Amino acid sequence: MFDISWMNPSGGSFNKESLIRENETLKRQIQELLTLDETGFFIELDSLLRAILKKALILCKAESSFFSLAGKDPSELDVRISNVILEEKMEKIRAQFKAEYSRWQETEAAIITIEDFILLPLVRRHRILGLIGLKLTSDAPDNICEILPILASQAAASLESAILYERMFKRLLVLSNVFILGKEIVSNIDLQQLVDKFLSIASDGTDSDVACLFLVRDKDELPYFFRLQTAGAGQTFAPGSDDGYTDLIKAVRRDEKFRMITNLETSEFKLSETHKIQDLILRDTVVLPLKPRDKLLGIIQVANKRGNFTYRPEDLDLLKILGSQVAFVIQNADLFQNLQRAYIDTLSALTSAIDAKDSYTRGHSERVTELSIKLATEVGIAPEEIEKIKLGGLLHDIGKIGIPEGILNKPGRLNDEEFEIIKSHPDLGLHILGKVEFLEAIVPIIRHHHERYDGKGYPSGLKGEEIPLLARIVSVVDTYDAMTTDRPYRKAMTLEEALKEIERCSGSQFDPEIAAHFIRMTMRESRQK
């Protein structure tokens, strides 16, 4: 299984001319591989996988192939796409891979062979994201050993971005539903209706087939209210299960600590938990106390994670956010205000996904937000518009999640082609956030903060007051922060140098009135320090 000597170029001597030709061929192939970064624009995961596999087939001259993603059990091949492979053949590959997985791990995920396929691991930040399987032909390039590691590296980087996007976008959609729920809470005190909405969001947000809620009071041994939602069969608790109030739920109530169990069959709660829902077997679960401040109000449970995946910390975080809102419903607190704070905090955390890719702009979004709020106040913007600035500033560069890291972190100036890719990030931001209902109002900031007052900006070439006012405000602050921060190709400007540049570009790049407000405000604050 570990013998890959057949892939090595044949031995023998090369004359100088042959060596030059081989090197030129390798350079061209590497250049082609580098265009895999373009797959950063295939944000949807399935489109990305097809693009990577097509590139691999062409470059390696393979006759058949498959793409597997790493899931709950890394020894199981979760094949998402296959080309020209019989199911019988695929089953043999799966079985042999599973049998040899522990030995393969010890080789630190080297390229391996199974049957007549090579398996290329896609590793990113010391974690295997997936595998590409290729059946090479006799026409495979002689330098295949040089091609495969580059292919793996480029494919892994693109795959990581797509997975990150998929999780982030799903989280935003869930938060949109949470926000809508919060607005309904203000005018709706029907507990059962609100709990049903809560359970629906909880199950969708964590990809769970089961969600239930138990509400308790200190003086009562049993819950005074419970509600169960399932996908398909098993809409009621099984006879003898005490309406789902099992030992696991009691333990969480007693300890007031969450439990995340990946395999109920091997847990101490097997007997009471696995069969507590009619016609359904529970496999895995997350259970946590519903406890705002110091008072326990109930217990939340989700179970049976869909697909070949386990529950993750972000599932627990989402349940905590949701749980906090439902708890405040029960307590008749100021629900909407707390909900708004919860989703803004979550969106703020999502901006770290951009920082993780662009190491030279760490903290940029937070600084732009803070300074944009000050400038909007200085200009006299209405309070409800300043609320848009808070979110728009945080997320103005969210489209950079789809830009290759090699371009974001390039230690020199970008060429024309690279700059065109960078210029796509406002439209990528629109693509990411355009379908999220509660963020619709801030899309103009995200899409137009790189327009210029003279009409020479991007992506739409708007000019003057055609550019949304809030985008004009963020534009000045965004440029100022970029100028006063170290970048790969230059050192940061001083405050005085940056303000002179903004004054010079007033009326061309920037709205002159907003630029004047910003200069006065910044100089005043500088003198006060």
Tell me how far apart the alpha carbons of residues 252 and 258 are, in angstroms, rounded to a whole number. 6
Tell me how far apart the alpha carbons of residues 97 and 121 are, in angstroms, rounded to a whole number. 12
- Tens-digit pLDDT profile for residues 345-376: 666 666 666 666 665 566 788 899 999 999 99
- Tens-digit pLDDT profile for residues 382-401: 988 998 998 888 888 888 87
More confident residue, 322 or 287: 287
Contacts of 85 (CB under 8 A, 6+ apart): 64, 65, 66, 135
Q: What is the mean pLDDT of residues 453-471?
A: 96
Largest CA distance in the chain: 90
Of 55-59, 118-122, 185-189, 472-476, the range with the highest mean pLDDT is: 472-476
Helix axes 364-379 and 383-395, enclosed angle (nearest 10): 160
Write out the DSSP string of 345-397. Answer: HHHHHHTHHHHHH-GGGTTHHHHHHHHHHHHHHHHT--HHHHHHHHHHHHHTT
User: How open is the CA angle 339-426-346, to the nearest 5 degrees?
Assistant: 20
3-state secondary structure of 298: strand
Helix runs in 188-217, H state only: 191-205
Strands ordered across the beta sheet of 78-83? 78-83, 62-69, 127-136, 117-124, 112-114
Alpha-carbon torsion 16, 21, 24, 26, what sign?
negative
What is the predicted pLDDT for the residue at 133? 93
- Tens-digit pLDDT profile for residues 90-104: 999 999 998 888 877
Give φ, ψ of 381 to 5 degrees: -70, 145
> pTM for this structure?
0.53
- Tens-digit pLDDT profile for residues 427-441: 888 887 776 767 788
Give φ, ψ of 431 to 5 degrees: -60, -40
Q: What is the mean pLDDT of residues 192-221?
A: 88
pLDDT at 316 over 60: yes
Tell me how far apart the alpha carbons of residues 96 and 310 are, in angstroms, rounded to a whole number. 24
Which of 437, 432, 428, 481 has its CA nearest to residue 459? 428
pLDDT at 448 over 70: yes
What is the predicted pLDDT for the residue at 333? 40
Q: How far is CA 112 from CA 89, 157, 216, in A?
A: 17, 21, 55
What is the predicted pLDDT for the residue at 528? 84
> Quick count: other Cβ atoms within 10 Å of Cβ 431?
18
Contact by Cβ (8 Å): 118, 56 = no
Q: What is the mean pLDDT of residues 131-140?
A: 90
User: What is the pLDDT confidence band of residue 55, given thresholds at 50, 70 and 90?
Assistant: confident
- What average pLDDT is seen over the chain? 82
Give CA 252 to chain center in angstroms. Answer: 30
More confident residue, 229 or 48: 229
Burial of 410 (0-12, 13-18, 19+ CB in 10 A): middle
- Tens-digit pLDDT profile for residues 154-169: 888 888 877 877 777 7
What is the predicted pLDDT for the residue at 11? 43
Tell me how far apart the alpha carbons of residues 252 and 257 are, in angstroms, rounded to a whole number. 6
pLDDT at 222 over 60: yes
Instruction: Look up residue 257 and give its DSSP letter.
Output: -
Alpha-carbon torsion 273, 277, 283, 287, what sign?
negative
Structure token pair of residue 131: 């595998």
User: What is the pLDDT confidence band of residue 14, given thresholds at 50, 70 and 90?
Assistant: very low
Tell me how far apart the alpha carbons of residues 427 and 358 are, in angstroms, rounded to a whole number. 18
CA-based R_g, the chain, Å: 28
pLDDT at 32 over 80: no
What is the predicted pLDDT for the residue at 52? 84
Q: What is the mean pLDDT of residues 78-87?
A: 89
* Domains of the chain, first to last: 5-165 (3.30.450.40), 188-333 (3.30.450.40), 351-528 (1.10.3210.10)
Structure token pair of residue 133: 């399987």
Contact by Cβ (8 Å): 404, 157 = yes
- Tens-digit pLDDT profile for residues 165-201: 777 777 667 766 766 666 665 555 567 777 888 899 8
Tell me how far apart the alpha carbons of residues 235 and 283 are, in angstroms, rounded to a whole number. 17
Tell me how far apart the alpha carbons of residues 55 and 34 are, in angstroms, rounded to a whole number. 11
Tell me how far apart the alpha carbons of residues 369 and 518 are, in angstroms, rounded to a whole number. 14
User: What is the pLDDT confidence band of residue 463, given thresholds at 50, 70 and 90?
Assistant: very high
pLDDT at 126 over 90: no
What is the predicted pLDDT for the residue at 37? 47
7-16, 86-95, 280-289, 290-299: segment of lowest average pLDDT: 7-16
What is the predicted pLDDT for the residue at 5? 43
5-14, 79-88, 125-134, 487-496: segment of lowest average pLDDT: 5-14
Question: Residue 17: how many CA atoms within 13 Å on its side-chain side?
Answer: 0
Contacts of 216 (CB under 8 A, 6+ apart): 222, 223, 224, 253, 296, 297, 298, 299
29-33, 113-117, 476-480: segment of lowest average pLDDT: 29-33
Helix axes 144-187 and 191-205, enclosed angle (nearest 10): 180
Tell me how far apart the alpha carbons of residues 260 and 266 are, in angstroms, rounded to a whole number. 13
Q: What is the mean pLDDT of residues 51-62?
A: 85
What is the predicted pLDDT for the residue at 150? 85
Helix axes 313-330 and 191-205, enclosed angle (nearest 10): 170
How many residues in total does the chain contain?
A: 529
Tell me how far apart the alpha carbons of residues 351 and 308 are, in angstroms, rounded to a whole number. 28
pLDDT at 426 over 50: yes
Give φ, ψ of 224 to 5 degrees: -90, -10
Contact by Cβ (8 Å): 66, 135 = no
Torsion-angle region of residue 307: left (phi > 0), alpha (psi -120 to 50) or beta? left
pLDDT at 266 over 60: yes
Give CA 319 to chain center in angstroms. Answer: 18
Tell me how far apart the alpha carbons of residues 65 and 82 are, in angstroms, rounded to a whole number. 6
Amino acid at 332: N
